[in-house]
Amino acid sequence: MAYQQIIAEVKDQIFYITINREQKLNALNKEVLTELADAIAFASKSEEVRGVLITGAGEKAFVAGADISEFQNYSLAEGKELARSGHQNVFDAIENCPKPVVAAINGFALGGGLELAMACHIRVASDNAKLGLPEVTLGLIPGYGGTQRLTQLVGKGRAIEMITTADMITAEKAYRTGLVNEVVPQVELIAKAEEILNKIKTRAPLAIASAIKAVNASLKENINGFEVEIEEFANCFQTEDFKEGVTAFLEKRKAIFKGR
C-alpha cells in the first residue's frame, strides 16, 4: 500500500503498520495521522486482515510524541478540532477496530505515541522502552484519549501521577502496573507480537469482533455493557463459525473458521 509516512503491508493475514519517520523519532504529524486513519479503515473492512501490528521504524522509538511545531500557534477552536479529529479518525478507530490491534513498543512511547499504544487492544514492549505523557511540561494535557485510557489501564492514582509529574516509566514498571501486556528483549519484540496475533488468528473472527465490542462497551458512558454482551453473544449463534466451532469440538478436531 502506497503511503509516504507509514509502511503498510499484509503478510499471512497480519496487517503490519510501521510509522516511518525514524529521523524524527516517528513523531505524529498530520500526514501520519491521515495515513493511519486510512490504514485502520482498510484493516477494519478487509477480509484478508485478521490482525494488526503497529510499530515504529528503527530501534529508538515507537512514537516519541506529536510534531509540536505543527500546532504551536493554534487557537482554542483549532486545538479542539485537532483533538476531536484525532479521536474520531485514528485513536477511537483503533480501539473500535473489529480486528485485534497489537502495539509493538520499540523504545520511546511518549505523549501521542503512548496514546496511540493505549488505543491498541494489546501492548508488547521491548525491555528498553520508556513510556510517558509529558504534555504538562508544554502547558498541555494529553489530547488523544490519554487521560481516559491511562486511567482505565492503571487506575486513577497512577494516571494522575504519571500525567502531572510527566515522568517516564520503564517497560518493567509499565508491565507491573498493567500498562503493557508483555515485556521482551527488543530482538524478540515483533516475534512476540506476531505470536499473539497468530494465536488469535486460529480463533473465530466474528466472535473476536463481538468480544472486542463487548469489552469496549464496559468502558463507555450511557451504554450497558451487559446488554451489549447479551446481544453479541446471541449474534454468534447465527454465524457459520459457531456451527463450525461446535462441530469441530464434538468431532474432536481443530476448527477451521472462515469469518462468516
**Catalytic residue IDs:** 115, 135
DSSP 13: T
Helices 205-217 and 225-236: crossing angle in degrees, nearest 10, is: 170
| Rounded Cα distance, 260 and 245, in Å | 12
Instruction: Tell how strand 14-19 and strand 6-11 pair up.
Output: antiparallel
The Cα 98–Cα 33 span in angstroms is 20
User: Are the C-beta atoms of residues 19 and 29 closer than 8 Å to each other?
Assistant: no
The CA distance from 107 to 58, in Å, is: 9
Cα–Cα distances (Å) from 4 to 34, 35, 39, 42, 89, in that order, read: 11, 8, 12, 16, 18
Which among 157, 245, 213 is positioned nearest to 255, based on CA atoms? 245
- 3-class DSSP state for residue 128? coil
Give the torsion sign (CA, 34, 36, 37, 43): positive
